[in-house]
Structure 1
Amino acid sequence: MAKVALVLTDDFADWEYAMIGGIGGSFYGLEVAYFSPTPGQLSSMGGMTVVVSNGLEELALWQPDVVAVIGGTVWDSEAAPDISDLLVTQYENGVPVGGICGGTLALARSGLLNAEPHTSNEGDFLIKNAVGYDGVSNYVQSKTAVSSDRVVTAPGTAPVSFAAAIFEVAGVPQETVSQFKDMITAEHN
């Protein structure tokens, strides 16, 4: 069973983790755990209150198979935590890392987007909010998640394709990932 670490911050985006946490664990057998740079009581953008007791030190000790940084309003503010060392270390240890919406800023700041195809809310979003980001030539304007060499990125409007890409790098069989996409998008067909 693959272990997926979801990194949440205060004011995290409710819709960006829900399918990974809910469907990934209960339907696909992933072991999903939540971590925060500031453990304790967090509030989501939708007003839900959660307690995340695991800090980033526990994340490294847990030895996840995938790390996904969930977006939220903190990432494009001066209060954004610097998790670059954690992300680079995980990536260098062979662990796929992902970011959605504001979470892509954490990956950009760490340098992980400088040499890989990636996406985000918009290219200017990364340029404006990620000091040290030098990957503009690899930016892909996409409505869906982009995966490249263990790096998964997505705009905040793409939680379904982000979840599917995280499932893929976690080792969920491709047939199951395809069924997930069909199930979640059925109402639009």
Structure 2
Amino acid sequence: MFTIYIYLPDTLADWELGHITAELQSRRFFKKDAPHLELKTVGYCREPVRTMGGLTALPDCAVGDIATGEKSMLLLPGANTWSDPRHGAIVEKAGEFLAAGAAVGAICGATAALAGAGLLDDRPHTSNGPGFLEAAVPGYRGQRFYVDAPSVANGGLFTASCTGALLWARQIIAHLGVFEADTLAAWYAYFCTGAPEHFFALMQSVAAAQTTLL
């Protein structure tokens, strides 16, 4: 079983997690032999948090409950509160994940938290545009590894800007191997463009997979 830990900071940016959590939880487009995933929300404590959109979320566990290993992934959404020192424990845990060969996804303000811990000093990454990390993190030293793109996948590290959530989701889904390649291509094309031909291609790819099961 593969465990996806989703960190819930106060004021988390709701839209940045929407695509990835909905697809991983619903399994609606998963291929027939997709690995079993368990999603667990994590807080710096077990108290409820309020998202940027005003929703209340109750973490399933605290940072100390996270099991680090190659069959786990940590997702860090953006928020207005990443400068809060209470998030230091999850940033430290992200470093443990990367050191252990486990995957970490960070988007928007979460990339600044990783940069502040030196975790982006020697890994290709992106954030909210050139100059953002320099402004947000005075000690940032990863400039030569910065890639000006909506989302960057490098081994087990997935970083994205606040507008890169869809591509970020695609890269993470590809890493997990839970969609067939044609399903993932059609899924991404449809949500990028809204063109009906991509929707029909998506449905056909899923139907074909189901037919194979019969």
Residues 84 and 109 in structure 1, CA contact (< 8 A), matched pair in contact too: no
Q: How does 1:14-93 map to 2 (within 5 A)?
A: 14-27=14-27, 28=30, 30-60=37-67, 65-75=72-82, 77-79=83-85, 81-82=87-88, 83-93=90-100
Q: 1:173 deviation in Å? A: 4.2
Residues 69 and 100, structure 2, Cα contact 8 Å, conserved in 1: no
Equivalent position SS for 1:81: helix
Structure 1 residue 148: Cα displacement: 0.9
TM-score by length of 1: 0.88
Please tell me the residue identity of whatever aligns with 1:169: H
In the alignment, is the contact (CA less than 8 A) between 1:96 and 1:169 conserved in 2?
no
- Find the aligned partners of 1:54 and 1:19 in 2 and give their Cα distance: 22
Moved over 3 A (4+): 61-64, 77-80
Q: 1:148 aligns with which of 146, 154, 167?
A: 154
Any stretches of 5+ residues in structure 2 without a counterpart? 31-35, 197-214
Residues 1:168 and 1:107: Cα distance change in structure 2 (over 3 Å): farther
Q: State which of 153, 165, 185 in structure 2 corresponds to 1:159.
A: 165
Q: How does 1:148-187 map to 2 (within 5 A)?
A: 148-173=154-179, 175=181, 176-187=183-194
Task: Summarize deviations over 1:84-137 as a string: whole Å, max 9, x none.
Answer: 321111111110111000111122123221111111112322112235421011
The answer to whether the 8 A contact 1:66-1:96 is kept is: yes
8 Å Cα contact 2:9/2:49 also seen in 1: yes
> What is the one-letter code of the residue matched to 1:97?
V
SS at match of 2:92: helix
Q: Number of residues paired by the alignment? A: 187
The 3 A distance-change label for structure 1 pair 170 and 110 is: farther
Structure of larger gyration radius: 2
Amino acid at match of 1:15: W
Quote the RMSD (CA, aligned, Å).
Answer: 2.2
TM-score (norm: length of structure 2): 0.78
Inter-CA distance 188–125: structure 2 relative to 1 (3 Å threshold):
farther
Give the partner amino acid of 1:20.
I
Give the C-alpha shift of residue 60 in structure 1. 2.7
Query: In structure 1, what is the Cα distance between the partners aligned to 2:113 and 2:86?
Result: 8
Q: Which amino acid aligns with 1:180?
A: W
Change (3 A) 1:171 1:11: same
Flag structure 1 segments of 5+ consecutive residues without an equivalent.
none
Change (3 A) 1:140 1:184: same
Letter in 2 for 1:9: P
Matches within 5 A, 1:121-140: 121-140=128-147
